[in-house]
């Protein structure tokens, strides 16, 4: 059968091998039935006689003769690239045989995949034989790449959106249609005119944009009248989304680019296109779907110095995994597992896990705290109560009020724990200034020292100031407290009984854990990730957990909390860099207006606020970014402005967001979402609703320069490079041949619209951007050149150059041409680039993580237990200020009102990941996602199931207040039932229901689709199980989007109450 998705290759006969027929010509069943040995004697005798010499030859073969050289052990069979089955971005060794991607293992040069990793100079012959580690899903990546359901040509819908009917069209036709717009679906009887990029790219003049941007901002803030604005820009008002609200920006903002997973290298390429060349503010990633509130908590607590810290697992003596772990997801199981297991077995590391479910981490831990979902913040305060009651916190560290005091104690960081905070109307409002008391300047703070106020400067390097830890007093009529006092008050405000009733954790369970946490000096740490933060109070729960780390003073200490080893800067701009990528743009656009998600924007800075006041129509998010779940609902509602072109890329908000099914109706309606283009490798759960699907290359066929996360404590830069034959159609743009993918699309649209920044002189005079490698190889050249002058890698030797060529000989010329690659970088850097490519990145030697008792790479900054900038902002739905100190108030709606729980749905729903799967794009992985577990279950405690009269294995339906029938519609034809078998276990907190998030696909090759009039049969194995997002609560005020943390922006996965019914 021809694969209609594969219009590039010759059709292939598919046959169903008959297992009944023996390879030896004898039917196996016949053989067994025919009196076994007797019936088969003649045949057997014959086979044995034939085979004996070979058999004996194999048996007695000596060590040197019997085994030929293993072809996959040769360096010519290896390309080092970077995984993307998850965002851990492991470095992989991709082995190919005869042009076929045959095996993926870990790259032994990388600290993520080999512990400790090989020295950077190790010969390619040696490293070829040393396979590093890679998790199950990483190794199954071959099946993500070589998926028979990959889209190879551009698909245009041949029915209403979501109908699963498609026609393949040429790339040129696609580019023409989406650029020019018009009656694109007239042949389907649809006379609607669809917008094109040419229409949305309304404001083109760079200097006009710059002038308008400055004035529009003033209109927003109320410092320039609308009339004056209109007078000044009368000739260009038609370029604005709304001339009466010029601060919403130009029509260009109508192009909204929503990436699910886009990483460094590609991310900057796309931002160059969307922001700098096209002039839209709307380019997004998916971070709020993962754990954005955790990043925002780190960011606010560290004064925006970092957004991610991890325990130093190589040195720590006690690690508490809070709503995360080292063995399933996080950052991630490949680099973290061995650091924990060898620690446990070989050096006495103790571990504890906070998780309502017996995760693989909990299974191995010394302590398990099965907390009630949503009570993480309260549990953190229970920890604090014990620490304050027993004086188990680092008082010396916390009393340091400025840099000089920290240095005197040999502490890399200090905190504002003692800095006096002004209490206004009962709330901590702002830091007390020395000038408030007339004892110092405006930019000085105040501490109490032995009961007397003392002015200080935070970054003062020569006058050490220590403050009293606990202060609650009134100075010159101003009520003041220290942040530590405010924390202690909250911690002590609940009794142990109350804590147990809220968290489900008794003092008996808690005490040994908090005792361990406070028994190892600086060598203990808490790792916190998704679990505590994907709640409506995610930011505060996260900040509370980080506060526990701060209370033991473990930041920047070996065995404590680390900001990680960092990386070389591929975007350049450092003294040693070869290219400063952000400067290599001839005419950047001064984009303006709020993002459609209203993120990183204060409601009060816009004209809409002055007209409507509180509450806003939808939440504004002053602290966070990439509020993924808000993009489509905002676009469809038209708030703060309507969108025109939605382009999704490597993301599936419908499957991945809580209540993502709410988006289906929005996406199916061309009135609300006028043009919808999806960049995807398959027809997925979101791309199935698109007008066009632009086939993309999988991560194994393309480029990238992803960054390392802080669990890796030595400096590391990664390279993703083509390691497999591209499966998409090869096309030509201005004589350049390349496979269709996101970059190809960008280059084609940019050239069609004549956007500066691409094509001829795209980087500047004489520097063209015509092909992917023109961009990516410059990034890699920056890695090779290093950040400091002279910090270069060695040249590849002639032998290494030979291996480099030989290993890539199987790639088509459109992907690999040494001559062309060479031209993309400065000649003196080419051999260095090859050296980096030959190793899949750049890595400092193992053992370089520490500096005596400290981390080598230090944060060394002031830690904010009182976050003044948070306290200063208001919730746009209530008009009330946010709290500036970590606090626990339970779960609430977007306006801050507690969620209404009527008790009809008694179980708290949690989700989790198996170690072998990703959230939404590993169902094609037969070895892992299907062979290891062919469907997911609805997990429930045995006692709960018994109470409901349900038995293990029984088919049950998941229902909630939002979805009382446990079903949802995906298109005109199909309604999906939220049904799966029940699994009753002891390893889950009673009162909790758990569902893993890998299954329940209704696209991605799981269903039949029609392409060019031909039916492509889906693989039903991919449809097994259930995705729980369609029962998840929406925000009761906005109603079209899931519950969301108003500070951190995280989508709420763990605050829905459900019930389970027999199906």
Partner 1 sequence: MTNVPDVQSKAKATPEDRRAFFKSALAKASGLAALFGMSAKAKAEIPRSEVKEFLDPAVDPQVNHLDRMLEDLERALKKPMEQRKWVMVIDLKKCTGCKACTVSCCSENNLPPGVVYRPVVEEEVGTFPDVRKKFTPRPCMHCENPPCTPVCPVKATYKRPDGIVAIDYDVCIGCRYCLSACPYNARTADFGEFYNQDAPEIMDYEKRPNFEYGREWKRDPKDHGSPIGNARKCHFCLHRVENGMLPACATTCLGGATYFGDYNDPTSLVHQLVGSSRMMRLKEELGTEPKVYYLV
Token pair of 815, please?
Answer: 């992907």
Compose the 708-727 pattern: x for residues touching partner 1 by CB under 8 A, - for all others.
Answer: --------------------
> Strands of 675-680's sheet, edge to edge?
283-284, 255-259, 645-649, 675-680, 692-695, 154-157, 165-169, 1009-1011, 1014-1016
Residue 88 binds partner 1, judged by CB under 8 A = no
Contact 746, 758 (CB under 8 A): yes
Helix, strand, or coil here: 507?
helix
Per-residue contact string for residues 100-119; x = within reach of partner 1 by CB under 8 A? xxxxxxx-------xxx--x
* 794 is an interface residue for partner 1 by CB under 8 A: no
Alpha helix (H) ranges present in 824-890? 830-837, 868-871
Q: Does residue 928 touch partner 1 according to CB under 8 A?
A: yes
Report how far residue 123's alpha carbon sits from residue 374's, in angstroms, rounded to the nearest whole number: 51
State the minimum distance, in angstroms, from the CB of residue 155 to partner 1. Answer: 14
**Site pattern 145..184 for partner 1 (x: CB under 8 A):** -xxxx-----------------------------------
Q: In this structure, are residues 144 and 925 in contact, taking their beta carbons and an 8 Å threshold?
A: yes
Tell which one of 75, 82, 109, 133 touches partner 1 (CB under 8 A): 133
Q: Does 848 bind partner 1 (CB under 8 A)?
A: yes
277 touches partner 1 by CB under 8 A: no
For residue 324, the minimal CB distance to partner 1 (Å) is 14
The whole-angstrom separation of Cα 430 and Cα 885 is 11
* Residue whose CB is less far from partner 1, 982 or 1031: 982
| Calpha distance 705→598 (Å, rounded) | 29
Among 226, 439, 509, 1037, which residue interacts with partner 1 (rule: CB under 8 A)? 509
Among 847, 964, 1013, 1062, binds partner 1 (CB under 8 A): 847
| Smallest distance, partner 1 to C-beta of residue 521, A | 6
Q: What binding mask, one character per residue, do residues 334-373 give for partner 1 by CB under 8 A, x or -?
A: x--xx-xxx-xxxxx---------x-xxxxx---x-x---
Convert 237-274 to b/e letters by CB count within 10 Å (16 or more is b): eebbbbbebbbbbbbbbbbbbbbbbbbbbbbbbbebbb
98 contacts partner 1 (rule: CB under 8 A): yes
Closest C-alpha to 520, from 315, 298, 302: 315
Helix (H) or strand (E) holding 296: helix 292-301
Q: Minimum distance from CB of 246 to partner 1 (Å)?
A: 52
Under the binding rule (CB under 8 A), the answer on residue 53 touching partner 1 is no
- Is residue 941 a contact point for partner 1 (CB under 8 A)? yes
CA distance 838 to 845: 17
**Neighbouring residues of 913: CB distance < 8 A, sequence distance ≥ 6:** 328, 329, 919, 996, 997, 998
Footprint of partner 1 on 388-407 (CB under 8 A) = 391-397
- Residue 317 touching partner 1 (CB under 8 A): yes
Residues 997-1036 that bind partner 1 (CB under 8 A): 1005, 1016-1017, 1019-1020
For the segment 980-999, give every residue that binds partner 1 (CB under 8 A). Answer: 985-990
Q: Which segments of 61-166 does DSSP mark as H helices, in order?
A: 124-129, 136-139, 141-145
The answer to whether 55 contacts partner 1 (rule: CB under 8 A) is yes
Using CB under 8 A, pick the residue from 552, 578, 961, 1051 that binds partner 1.
Answer: 552
Kindly write out the interface string for residues 798-837 of this chain, putting x where it contacts partner 1 by CB under 8 A and - elsewhere: ----------------------------------------
DSSP state of 894: T
Token code pair at residue 82: 């970077």
Q: Which of 576, 845, 879, 896 binds partner 1 (CB under 8 A)?
A: 845
Q: Which stretch binds partner 1 (CB under 8 A): 179-187, 623-631, 962-970, 979-987?
A: 979-987
Q: Is 474 in the site for partner 1 (CB under 8 A)?
A: no
Q: Is 51 in the site for partner 1 (CB under 8 A)?
A: yes
> Where does residue 484 rank: exposed (0-12), middle (13-18), buried (19+ CB within 10 A)?
buried
State the Cα–Cα distance between residues 396 and 398, nearest whole angstrom: 6
Task: State the minimum distance, in angstroms, from the CB of residue 558 to partner 1.
Answer: 8
Nearer to partner 1, 151 or 750 (CB): 151
| 129 lies in the binding site for partner 1 (CB under 8 A) | yes
Site for partner 1 in 18-47 (CB under 8 A): 18-19, 21-24, 26, 28, 31-32, 36-37, 40, 43-44, 47
Q: DSSP string covering 365-393, please?
A: -SEEE-PPTT-HHHHHHHHHHHHHHTT-S
3-class DSSP state of 599: strand
Q: Tell whether residue 948 is a contact of partner 1 (CB under 8 A).
A: no
Q: Decide: is 7 part of the binding site for partner 1 (CB under 8 A).
A: no
Q: Which is nearer to partner 1, 5 or 781 (CB)?
A: 5
Among 753, 932, 948, 1037, binds partner 1 (CB under 8 A): 932
CB 867 within 8 A of CB 571: no
Q: Which is nearer to partner 1, 230 or 1021 (CB)?
A: 1021
Closest approach of partner 1 to the CB of residue 1013, in Å? 15
8-state DSSP, 275? I
310: contact with partner 1 by CB under 8 A:
no
End-to-end distance of the chain based on CA atoms, in angstroms?
37
477 near partner 1, rule: CB under 8 A: no
Beta carbons of 748 and 756 less than 8 angstroms apart: no
User: Rounded to the nearest 5°, which phi and psi values hold at 109?
Assistant: -80, -10
Q: From the CB of 113, what's the least distance to partner 1, in Å? A: 9
Question: Would you count residue 790 as binding partner 1 (CB under 8 A)?
Answer: no
Binding-site residue total for partner 1 (CB under 8 A)? 151
b/e per residue 20-48 (b: at least 16 CB within 10 A)? eeeeeebeeeebeeeeeeeebeeeeeeee
């Amino acid at each position: 059968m021809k694969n209609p998705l594969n219009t590039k290759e010759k059709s292939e006969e598919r046959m169903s091998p008959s297992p009944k027929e023996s390879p030896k010509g004898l039917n196996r069943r016949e053989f067994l039935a025919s009196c076994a040995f007797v019936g088969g004697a003649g045949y057997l005798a014959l086979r044995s006689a034939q085979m004996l010499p070979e058999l004996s030859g194999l048996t007695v073969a000596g060590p040197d003769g019997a085994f030929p050289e293993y072809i996959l052990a040769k360096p010519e069979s290896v390309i080092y690239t970077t995984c993307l089955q998850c965002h851990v971005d492991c470095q992989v060794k991709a082995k190919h045989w005869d042009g076929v991607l045959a095996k993926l293992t870990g790259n032994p040069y990388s600290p993520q995949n080999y512990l400790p990793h090989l020295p950077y100079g190790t010969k390619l012959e040696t490293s070829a034989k040393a396979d590093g580690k890679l998790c199950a899903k990483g190794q199954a990546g071959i099946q993500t790449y070589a998926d028979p359901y990959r889209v190879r040509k551009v698909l245009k819908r041949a029915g209403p959106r979501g109908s699963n009917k498609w026609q393949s069209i040429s790339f040129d036709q696609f580019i023409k249609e989406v650029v020019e717009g018009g009656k694109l679906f007239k042949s389907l009887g649809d006379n609607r005119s669809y917008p094109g990029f040419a229409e949305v790219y309304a404001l083109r003049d760079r200097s006009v944009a710059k002038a308008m941007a400055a004035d529009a901002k003033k209109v927003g803030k109320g410092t320039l009248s609308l009339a004056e604005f209109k007078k000044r820009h009368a000739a260009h008002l038609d370029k604005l989304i709304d001339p009466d609200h010029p601060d919403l920006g130009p029509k260009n903002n109508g192009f909204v680019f929503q990436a699910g997973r886009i990483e460094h290298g590609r991310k900057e390429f796309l931002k160059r296109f969307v922001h700098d060349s096209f002039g839209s503010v709307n380019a997004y990633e998916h971070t709020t779907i993962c754990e954005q509130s955790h990043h925002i908590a780190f960011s606010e607590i560290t004064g925006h110095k970092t957004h991610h810290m991890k325990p130093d697992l190589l040195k720590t003596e006690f690690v508490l995994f809070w709503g995360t772990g080292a063995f399933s997801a996080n950052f991630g199981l490949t680099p973290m597992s061995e650091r924990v297991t060898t620690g446990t077995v070989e050096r006495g590391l103790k571990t504890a896990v906070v998780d309502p479910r017996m995760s693989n981490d909990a299974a191995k831990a010394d302590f398990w705290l099965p907390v009630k979902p949503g009570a993480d913040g309260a549990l953190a305060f229970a920890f604090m109560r014990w620490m304050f009651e027993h004086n188990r916190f680092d008082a010396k560290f916390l009393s340091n009020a400025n840099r000089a005091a920290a240095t005197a104690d040999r502490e890399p960081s200090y905190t504002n724990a003692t800095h006096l905070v002004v209490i206004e109307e009962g709330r901590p409002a702002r830091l007390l200034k020395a000038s408030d008391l007339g004892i110092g300047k405006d930019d000085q703070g105040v501490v109490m020292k032995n009961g007397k106020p003392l002015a200080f400067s935070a970054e003062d390097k020569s006058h050490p100031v220590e403050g009293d830890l606990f202060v609650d007093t009134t100075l010159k009529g101003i009520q003041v407290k220290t942040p530590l006092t405010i924390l202690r008050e909250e911690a002590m405000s609940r009794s142990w009984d109350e804590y147990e009733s809220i968290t489900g954790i008794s003092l008996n369970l808690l005490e040994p854990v908090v005792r361990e946490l406070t028994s190892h000096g600086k060598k203990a740490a808490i790792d916190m990730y998704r679990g505590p933060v994907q709640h409506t109070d995610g930011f505060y729960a996260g900040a509370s957990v980080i506060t526990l780390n701060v209370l033991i003073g473990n930041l920047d200490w070996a065995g404590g909390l680390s900001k990680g080893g960092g990386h070389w800067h591929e975007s350049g701009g450092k003294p040693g860099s070869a290219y400063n990528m952000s400067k290599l743009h001839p005419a950047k656009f001064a984009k303006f207006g709020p993002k459609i998600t209203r993120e990183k924007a204060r409601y009060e800075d816009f004209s809409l606020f002055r007209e409507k006041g509180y509450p806003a129509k939808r939440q504004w998010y002053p602290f966070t970014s990439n509020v993924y779940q808000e993009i489509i609902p905002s676009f469809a509602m038209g708030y703060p402005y309507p969108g025109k072109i939605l382009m999704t890329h490597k993301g599936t908000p419908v499957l991945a967001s809580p209540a993502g099914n709410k988006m289906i109706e929005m996406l199916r309606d061309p009135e609300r979402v006028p043009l919808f283009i999806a960049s995807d490798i398959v027809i997925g759960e979101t791309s199935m609703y698109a007008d066009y699907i632009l086939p993309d290359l999988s991560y194994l066929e393309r480029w990238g320069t992803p960054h390392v996360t802080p669990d890796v404590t030595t400096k590391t830069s990664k390279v993703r490079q083509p390691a497999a034959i591209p499966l998409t159609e090869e096309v030509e743009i201005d004589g350049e041949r390349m496979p269709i993918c996101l970059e190809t699309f960008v280059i084609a649209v940019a050239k069609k619209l004549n956007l500066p920044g691409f094509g001829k002189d795209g980087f500047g005079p004489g520097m063209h951007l015509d092909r992917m490698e023109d961009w990516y190889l410059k990034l890699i050249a920056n890695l090779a050149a290093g950040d400091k002058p002279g910090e270069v890698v060695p040249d590849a030797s002639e032998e290494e150059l030979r291996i480099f060529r030989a290993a890539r000989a199987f790639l088509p010329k459109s992907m690999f041409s040494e001559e062309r690659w060479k031209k993309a970088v400065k000649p003196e850097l080419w051999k260095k680039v090859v050296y980096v490519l030959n190793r899949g990145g750049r890595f400092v030697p193992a053992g370089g993580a520490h500096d005596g008792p400290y981390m080598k790479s230090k944060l060394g900054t002031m830690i904010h237990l009182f976050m003044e900038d948070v306290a200063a902002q208001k919730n746009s739905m209530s008009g009330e200020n946010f709290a500036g100190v970590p606090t626990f108030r339970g779960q609430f709606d977007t306006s801050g009102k507690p969620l209404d729980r009527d008790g009809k749905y008694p179980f708290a729903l949690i989700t989790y990941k198996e170690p072998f799967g990703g959230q939404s794009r590993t169902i094609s992985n037969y070895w892992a996602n299907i062979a290891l577990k062919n469907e997911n279950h609805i997990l429930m405690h045995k006692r709960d199931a018994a109470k409901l009269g349900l038995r293990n294995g029984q088919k049950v339906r998941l229902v909630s207040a939002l979805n009382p029938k446990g079903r949802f519609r995906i298109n005109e034809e199909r309604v999906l039932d939220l049904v799966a078998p029940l699994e009753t276990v002891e390893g889950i907190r009673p009162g909790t229901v758990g569902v893993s998030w890998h299954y329940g696909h209704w696209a991605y090759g799981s269903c039949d689709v029609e392409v060019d009039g031909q039916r492509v049969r889906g693989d039903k194995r991919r449809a097994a199980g259930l995705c729980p997002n369609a029962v998840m609560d929406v925000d009761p005020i906005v109603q079209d989007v899931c519950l969301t943390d108003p500070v951190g922006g995280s989508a709420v996965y763990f605050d829905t109450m459900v019930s389970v019914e027999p199906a």
